[in-house]
Every structure is written in structure tokens, then in C-alpha cells.
Amino acid sequence: MKRFVQILVFLLLAFFCLLKTYDIICWKDTNVSFQSCVLQLEETPEDTVDVAFVGSSHVYTGIYPAYLWSDYGISAFDMAICAMDRDSAYYSIKHLFKSQSPRVVLVDLYALTYEKHQYPDNILRNYLSFPLSEDTYPALKAYAAKDPAVSDNMLDYLTRWPIFHTRYRELERRDFVNDETALAARGEYLNWAANAVTPLEPDPFEPELGNEDQLEWMKKLKTICEENGAQLVLMALPFQTDYDDQHLVDYASVFAEENGIPFFDFNRRIDEVGLDYSTDFYDDSHMNAYGAKKVCTFFGEYLKENYQLADHRGDPKYAIWDEDLRYYSHRRDGDELDTIQELEPFLDKLMQMREVVTVISLEGVYDSHALYESLKVLPGMQEADCEAGAKWLWEDGQLTLLMQNDLGAPAYIRELDDYTTLQVRFNGDRIGGGNIILGRNDYSNYEGQLRIVVYDPVMHRTIAAREYTYW
């Protein structure tokens, strides 16, 4: 009996270790936001999502729930994964309904074009994102029908270890500890980069019937939404369509009309929404934050008008949307700051930012008056300190003198977050003297006499490092 208990305890211990290892090594969507929307959904309190957007990268680059939250108080979520095929879309919605009761489910129709574009690798990434459940096997069977690589290796895909155990080669800190910024995101992928794109003109023609699979898929979506008390909305977010793609979208519009399903084809609503091909896109198929803002405003108005959704702002149950908005603001400010090179606008932007830590360092021989003239916009800046050479901390509107450049001055050390320790000291006026160290990176004055380093402890990253010369 004693031995039997021993074996049982050992098996439990081994199982626990395997489970913990699984958590570390399991698939995370490292290509996009590191955590897949499935993990973000797990972090979301039950029955808080009022509106779900389902689809591929078109959705996570084109719909920012943060906009709908900040402007309308709508708790929206992007159930979006790379190149979502029709089966993934169906099982995504099914998974969503297990913990949420959205009033409206908006499904992007790019999945209709799967046969044409085909991203089998992404399908498997998507599959691996979902937790094991009663849907695992049917989903896998559906994928196997499309991809012999799956059907030939069903056991490997079912058990998953054989697929992702090689992730030990790419593990990073975020695999071991929860990354709260990624988990609080609402499925979106933030991107402010703009590239001018050339649209293809949709051909006006009479829509024809698509294939049976496509029709069946839309029927299944309608049924599952009806069964769960949600209104299905079909949409095609803007992407560079050609004749065939548009054909399928138009085909879906007929189905939508016949079944009384609201339908939005944004390729045909570019002007109505105010989308600009020169500023609102990242590439031919994806919008950027500016485009997303316009589409979200369109949907915000539409949802407000048609569904009487409650404004949840201020409700502690929906705090995760506030967190998402907070992270969104940090990302936006960080990205914006990083694009500014000139000192004056750089300081202006810095003074507007909160929850960031800035180190300002003067070293070497410089024109102290000119330097003071540049820095005096910061409240509390003293010319005498500029003359002597000094290091300051700028944080939430407060300027703190850390030290004058005195070899005997004690080092300033501070834990900025769980990831990074800041060390500021004066080792003499030498290039790269180990005077400003963030984590393991040396940001000391290198060429310029004025060094400004900005770290965001909320996003756990250095968002800007500038040097300015004052001879």
C-alpha cells in the first residue's frame, strides 16, 4: 500500500511538473501580440464582452476595442487570429460563447477567400492557441480535411507536445511570467505606421452563388449566434480586393440580405467612412491605427444606434478595458515620442506623458547657457545645475536632481518594474562610462553632452534615447 501511494504521489508530482512546463512551452502568438486573443479572452471576466469582432488580421489591425471603449463605453473584443479560415472562425465563436454572451457578433468575411489565399501554417497556429476541449477533435478533423500534413499526424496534433516542444529554442521571459500588458489587450494589434496603398476598383457585377461550403459556413454562423442570443453581423473590412475576392463578398451580401443579417462591405464604403488610402493603411490588406479609428467610429455609431448597449465605463467589472486603454495610450505616446527628433517638441511631448521615467544627463564640455535655454521649459530646472553638470529624473511633471557630476556622489539605484533596475551615477566625463544603465543596457552619454533616456515601466521598455550636442 505504501508503495502504491508512493507511485501515486510521484505520478501527481510528475504530472504537475509537466503541466507547468506545458504552460511555459505552449504556443503563444509570438508573431503578433505575443499572447493570442484566446489567452486574452481567458483573462476577461465572464459575461463582459458585449460586442465581438471575429476574423483574421484584418480585424486585429482594423478594430481597436480601446476606441469603442473610450468613445462609447462599449466592451468590445477582437476574437481575431492570423488568416482565420472558416473553421477557425466557427470554433472561435463557439469558444467565445463558453464564457461570454455578446449581444453582437461581427464576422469578417475574409475567411470566404481561404481557398484562394490558403495559409495552412496559420491554421495550425490558430488551432494551437485554443485550449484542449470537446471541440479540439472536431476542429482538428476539419483542419485535417484541408491539410494532409494534419491528417497524417493527428496524434501529434492532438497531444500537441510533438509540435511545440521545440519552442525551448525561442523561450523568453514572457513565457515564464504573465505579461499583463499583452494579456489585458483586447485582441487588437497596435500599429501607427502608414503606407500609401493603391486600391483595386471593385468590379460591379451581379453576384453569383459561391460554393456549398461557404454557404454552409454562413448558415452555421447564423445558427450558433441565434442559439446564443447574439445578432450576427457580416462585414468585409477594407483590403485590396480583386475580382474573385469581391465576388465572394458580394455573394455573402446576397445571403445576408436573404436572411436579414446586417452587412457592411467597407471596400464599398471608403468615402462614407472617410478612409484615406494614403494615411489609413499599413499595407494593401491592413489598416493602421488611423484607419481603425475611422472604422471604429463608424461601428460605434452603428452599435449605439441599433443595439442600446450599456456604457460600462467606470464599472469595476470592466476594469480590464481601462487597462487596455491605458496600455494603448502608453503605446501610442511611446511610438509618437520615438518619432520626434528635435529637442523642443520632444520635451513638449515628454511633459504631457505620465507614468514614464526620464533620465536627463549632462556630461563633458558644453555651452551651459544654451543648454539651460533648451531645458528650462522643465519646471524646476536651475541654470547653476546646468553649469555644474548634473543628472535629473523627470517623472509625472516633477524634476528631481539626482546628483551633480561629482565623482563622490552616491549612485542612484531604483527598481523601475519587475524587469528593469535603473542605475545612475557619475564615473567621470568619459564616453559610454556606465553612467546610465537600464537593466543590462548602457545608455550613458556617448557623443552628445545632453542625454535623455525615457523608460516606460508600464510597457516595460525603453521608448526613447536621445543625445544632443551643445558646443
Partner 1 sequence: MLFNSIPFLIFFPIVILIYYILPGKIKRLWLLAASYFFYMSWNAKYVLLILFSTVATYAAGRLMERAKEKKGKKTILILVIAMNLGLLFFFKYFDFVLSNLNAVLRILHVQAVQSPFSLLLPVGISFYTFQSLGYTIDVYREKIPAEKNFLDYALFVSFFPQLVAGPIERSGSLLTQVKECSKKRLWTWDGISSGFGLMLWGFFMKMCIADRISIFVDAVFNNVYACGTVETVLGAGAFAIQIYADFAGYSAIAIGAARMMGFTLMENFNAPYFAESIGEFWRRWHISLSTWFRDYVYIPLGGNRKGTFRKYVNLMITFLLSGLWHGALWSYVFWGAIHGFYQIAGSVLKPVREKAVKLLKFREDSFSFHFGRKLITFVLVSFAWIFFRMHSLRLSLEYIRRMFVKFNPWVLVDGSMYNWALDRREAGILFLGLFLMLLVALLREYRKTDIGEFLLKQDLWFRWLVFILLILAVVVWGEYGINFDSSKFIYFDF
Chain residues binding partner 1 by CB under 8 A are 3, 6-7, 10, 13-14, 17-18, 21, 25, 149, 153, 155-156, 159, 161-163, 165-166, 168-169
Least Å from the CB of residue 155 to partner 1: 5
* Shortest distance, position 10 Cβ to partner 1, whole Å: 6
**Which residues contact residue 28 at a Cβ distance below 8 angstroms, ignoring those fewer than 6 apart?**
34, 35, 36, 39, 174, 175
CA 62/CA 80 separation, integer angstroms: 11
Nearer to partner 1, 140 or 353 (CB): 140
Q: Whose Cβ is closer to partner 1: residue 166's or residue 308's? A: 166
End-to-end CA separation in angstroms for the chain: 84
Q: How far is the CB of 316 from partner 1 (least distance, A)?
A: 40
Phi-psi sector, 194: left (phi>0), alpha (psi -120 to 50), beta: beta
Rounded to a whole number of angstroms, the minimum distance from the CB of residue 129 to partner 1 is 17
CA 169 to chain centre: 24
- Residue 9 vs 384, nearer CB to partner 1: 9
- Identity of the residue, 3 or 440, whose beta carbon is nearer to partner 1 in the bound complex: 3
Least distance between partner 1 and beta carbon 6 (Å): 7
Please report where in the chains the cell 521608448 appears, as a residue. 463
Q: Are 241 and 280 in contact (CB under 8 A)?
A: no
Residue 220 belongs to what H/E stretch? helix 212-227
Q: Could you give the CA distance from residue 230 to residue 110 in angstroms, rounded to a whole number?
A: 21
Contact 79, 60 (CB under 8 A): no
The residue (of 25 and 452) whose beta carbon lies closer to partner 1 is 25
Nearer to partner 1, 22 or 205 (CB): 22
Distance CA 427, CA 459 (A): 30
Choice between 117 and 167, CB closer to partner 1 = 167
Asked whether 303 and 73 are in contact (CB, 8 A), the reply is no
Q: Are 422 and 414 in contact, with CB atoms under 8 Å apart?
A: yes
Q: Which of 194, 221, 181, 177 is nearest to 79 (CA)?
A: 221
- Contact 383/369 with Cβ under 8 angstroms? yes
Q: Element (H or E) spanning 175, and its range?
A: helix 173-176
Smallest gap from Cβ 86 to partner 1, in A, equals 24
Report the nearest approach of partner 1 to the CB of residue 168 (Å).
Answer: 5
Q: Which residues of 87-152 form beta strands (DSSP E)? A: 104-108
Least separation, in Å, of the C-beta of 173 and partner 1?
Answer: 17
Retrieve residue 392's grid coordinates. Answer: 535629473
Across-strand partners of 412?
424
- Cβ count near 428 (within 10 Å): 9
Amino acid at 244: D
Sign of CA dihedral 271, 81, 243, 287: positive
The SS3 of residue 268 is helix
Among residues 168 and 446, whose Cβ is nearest to partner 1?
168
User: Which single residue is written with the C-alpha cell 436573404?
Assistant: 258
Q: Which is nearer to partner 1, 21 or 195 (CB)?
A: 21
Helix (H, G, I), strand (E, B) or coil at 83: coil
Comparing CB distances to partner 1, the nearer of 166 and 198 is 166
Which neighbouring-strand residues pair with 423?
Answer: 413, 437
Nearer to partner 1, 132 or 351 (CB): 132
User: CB of 176: closest distance to partner 1 in angstroms?
Assistant: 14
**Shortest reach from residue 442's CB to partner 1, in Å:** 24
Smallest gap from Cβ 145 to partner 1, in A, equals 18
